[in-house]
A = this chain, B = another copy of it.
């Protein structure tokens, strides 16, 4: 029995309880408005945000390993959901909600399967500069998309051109009550971020307490906003969240056709990828504070189950949030019991007190979202990349521009491709050295650096990189060019001592190169093939058909070709 329980539960100590309880309550109060806000960013009814907040907290507590990770709706994920679904259904329709639930289920399933297959390396599909560019550009899009609600106007759009033109058209409709509400909330929250710490320090608070209070500032803004709406009876004069049905999330399976599931597959993969990268970063940050070990595959599985749970209870894709998890840790969370308590708190809120949330003014929610993502717009990664690696700087700039121009959904595809294309570009032109023999020895060296002797009619080339589809074509071209410069050479030796790996594309290239050379009367010889590479060549039956021979060492090849 005990082995089935999560470690924190079977080893629970009474002294953890006070911290877990207070963290649980604080997180409940923070998550309720955050869930609503991110549901609205995703174009979903407010209650979906509450539902998406509950099951993931419980599931992570059972399946995850981090002591303070808090999984739930996140701004960037919600924007990705909105951008994906905008192409597939009308916001507000039943289909739209069903597709959002489908996205949670499908991305959850993908994460869980990747976790079980121990394929956590997919987090490495995104390089740091590309991830930073994606995050900054998405945050900018979120800020722009929330300017509409902040000003009390409706302005849609998933990318910069549409957002700007939407805002431009809506300028005349600015709601004169919404504006001061939103603007003052925003100014307050930004002041809290920039000046708050110095201010509270003068009040004599400890560093940890200051951090916690500042992170709770959004909650204060929300409560004041609700109180003002209730007290001044403004619910008709400015946009509010409106009726949130009280009720518990009910298990549900979305009614989607096979074609709709198919359409969700690729976006679900990218949402899964972004969510996993975010969540893993949070877990690593938390782990460093306590010296915990992180098991990326386990986290992959846990996040997958959280998303499946979110989908089954009527929610949308979720991930670990840094702010939320830090609040949890700073409010005293010692174990995942804090998350269990927060889940129960949200459940009570959703079941019995949801009506209270109806008075929440949308401009204040928008201000809260803007303030929370504004700090994510950062260019230090671009600066570092510019100083160290121009290809990375170009990848940053390209990803940033594409996310703004195409929207987050296409932007993330472009970003991943940019990461990988930059890597491909770097390894696509391997170094190839022409070798000769140091006179009187068995040593072979680069002819550009040493005084070496050559075998007449033979060209010795050493390829200094593993061969794969990304450089096969260039290697072929370079070998042919070197051969063209030595028209007397009728025997070509490729020295494979630095080729650690070879793939099918490179094997096919070698076979074709051999045929091509044979047609010109040049025989291709190979030397110093490493074990795994030789094995693959034999497996493919490619060594048997070669025009030349395979030599164990370069010296053996020299002797054989000289004979």
Contact = CB atoms under 8 A, between A and B. Distances in A.
Name the residue in A422, A423, A516 with the highest tally of chain B Cβ atoms < 10 Å from its Cβ.
A423
Nearest to A416: B417
A469 B388 contact: no
A227 B144 CA distance: 63
A41 B423 CA distance: 36
B122 A162 contact: no
Contacts of A503: 127, 388-389, 391-392, 422-423, 426
A540 B537 CA distance: 42
A479 interface: no
A434 interface: no
Interface stretch (A362-370, A406-414, A455-463): A406-414
Nearest to A280: B473
Given A259-B161, A423-B469, A468-B423, A388 B536 contact: yes
A44 B201 CA distance: 69
Contacts of A385: 504
A405 interface: yes
A474 B119 CA distance: 12
Contacts of A325: none
B424 A388 contact: no
Nearest to A267: B410
Contact of A413 (B121, B266, B507): B266
A129 B508 CA distance: 10
A544 to B, nearest CB: 13
Contacts of A128: 469, 504-505, 508
B539 A387 contact: yes
Contacts of A162: 258-259
Contacts of A388: 503-504, 507, 536-537, 539-540, 542
Contacts of A501: 426-427
Nearest to A129: B504
B406 A265 contact: yes
A159 B536 CA distance: 35
Contacts of A389: 502-504, 507, 536
Interface residues of A, number: 70
Interface in A240-274: 258-259, 262, 265-266
Contacts of A472: 124
A384 interface: yes
Contacts of A391: 503
A426 B385 CA distance: 25
B121 A425 contact: yes
A421 B122 contact: yes
A135 interface: no
A508 B384 contact: yes
Contacts of A547: none
A29 to B, nearest CB: 33
Contacts of A265: 402, 405-406, 410
A87 interface: yes
A423 B428 CA distance: 13
B87 A469 contact: no
A67 to B, nearest CB: 18
Contact of A423 (B122, B387, B410, B470): B470
A162 B119 CA distance: 31
A170 interface: no
Interface string A376-397: 0000010011011101100000
A541 interface: yes
B424 A420 contact: yes
B406 A266 contact: yes
Contacts of A129: 504-505
B392 A504 contact: yes
A262 B406 contact: yes
Contacts of A502: 389
A384 B504 contact: yes
B126 A469 contact: yes
A34 interface: no
Given A265-B410, A384-B540, A423-B468, 14 more contacts: A87-B87, A121-B428, A127-B468, A127-B469, A128-B505, A265-B405, A266-B406, A266-B410, A288-B516, A384-B504, A389-B536, A392-B503, A420-B424, A423-B424
6 contacts: A124-B471, A125-B421, A125-B424, A127-B503, A265-B402, A265-B410
Interface of A: 87, 119, 121-129, 159, 161-162, 258-259, 262, 265-266, 288, 296, 381, 384-385, 387-389, 391-392, 402, 405-407, 410, 413-414, 416-417, 419-428, 466, 468-474, 501-505, 507-508, 516, 536-537, 539-542
Q: Which 10 A-B pairs have the closest CB atoms?
A: A127-B469, A128-B505, A388-B540, A392-B504, A420-B420, A387-B539, A388-B536, A385-B504, A266-B410, A127-B505
